[in-house]
Amino acid sequence: MLFNLLSEYPKAKRNINNRLLNKDINKKIALKFGKDYFDGKRSQGYGGYSYDGRWVTIAKKIIDHYNIKEGCKILDIGCAKGFLVKDLLDSKTGVKVFGLDVSEYAINNCHKDCIGHLHIGNACNLPFPDNSFDLVLAINTLHNLTKKRCIKALSEIQRVTKRGKAFVQVDSYKNKTDKQNFIDWMLTAKTHGTPNDWIKIFNDAGYKGDYYWTLI
């Protein structure tokens, strides 16, 4: 189901022309998902990735919308340094929250409140039994996979979540101009398309959870 979870999330400022300078070098650096990607130049990634509380409202919205109770388990795929994990832990007493990310740098430099909650791993091979979580999140991360691996990751999300409760958000575009802006801006995306293209991928994977787009 279409659900605009991030409606109150601040929009990022983008200087596309600056990123286009040395784009091939910037992309190569970004795809390592290391220090330069998170805490280096904006042209190569986030331009500094530190906790600022922007996920607090989103975390509370997640707790309310998905009726998360004490004892529930949540998985955040593509958790980076765990800022959403921290805010979910703070939003509801007794909730068990775990994060998974491919970046060893991000996990090793996570928020101190997330130590012990985050793990290095990838979305295509989730190291959890079937029906492990009451909710699985994958926000702005699956488009970093090839289409084949996107479908595999979505099927893995479906496998580990109970009753199909999940939320996925991906970057997308609706017209040719926005598509070109997407191509010029994105450094790590390996799969992209219109919302209808993504719906087809969701259907091919048998994904039954909620979804939305970050429109470039």
Q: What is the C-alpha separation between 160 and 192, in angstroms, rounded?
A: 25
pLDDT at residue number 10: 84
pLDDT at residue number 9: 87
Render pLDDT for 39-63 as a digit per residue (tens, 0 to 9). 999 999 999 999 999 999 999 999 9
Of residues 72 and 14, the one with the higher pLDDT is 72
pLDDT at residue number 52: 94
Render pLDDT for 117-162 as a digit per residue (tens, 0 to 9). 999 999 999 999 999 999 999 999 999 999 999 999 999 999 999 9
pLDDT at residue number 14: 84
Render pLDDT for 9-33 as a digit per residue (tens, 0 to 9). 888 778 888 888 899 999 999 999 9
pLDDT at residue number 205: 96
pLDDT at residue number 8: 86
| C-alpha 22: how far from chain center | 26
Q: What is the C-alpha separation between 126 and 122, in angstroms, rounded?
A: 7
pLDDT at residue number 18: 85
Percent pLDDT > 90 in the chain is 87
Q: Is pLDDT above 90 for 98?
A: yes
pTM of the model: 0.94
pLDDT at residue number 120: 97
CATH class of 16-215: alpha beta
Q: Is pLDDT above 80 for 216?
A: no
Query: Which structure tokens are listed for 135?
Result: 């909710």
What mean pLDDT, rounded, does the chain reach?
94
Q: What is the C-alpha separation between 128 and 40, in angstroms, rounded?
A: 33
- Residue 104 parent element (H or E): helix 104-108
Average pLDDT over residues 195-199: 96
Place of tokens 């970093």: 144
Contacts of 12 by beta carbon, 8 Å cutoff, 6+ apart: none
For residues 157-173, one letter each, b for 16 or more C-beta atoms within 10 angstroms of the residue's C-beta and e for the rest, the string is: bbebbeeebbbbbbbbb
DSSP, collapsed to helix, strand or coil, labels residue 35 as: helix
Average pLDDT over residues 170-197: 93
When mean pLDDT is compared across 14-18, 126-130, 169-173, 192-196, the lowest value belongs to 14-18
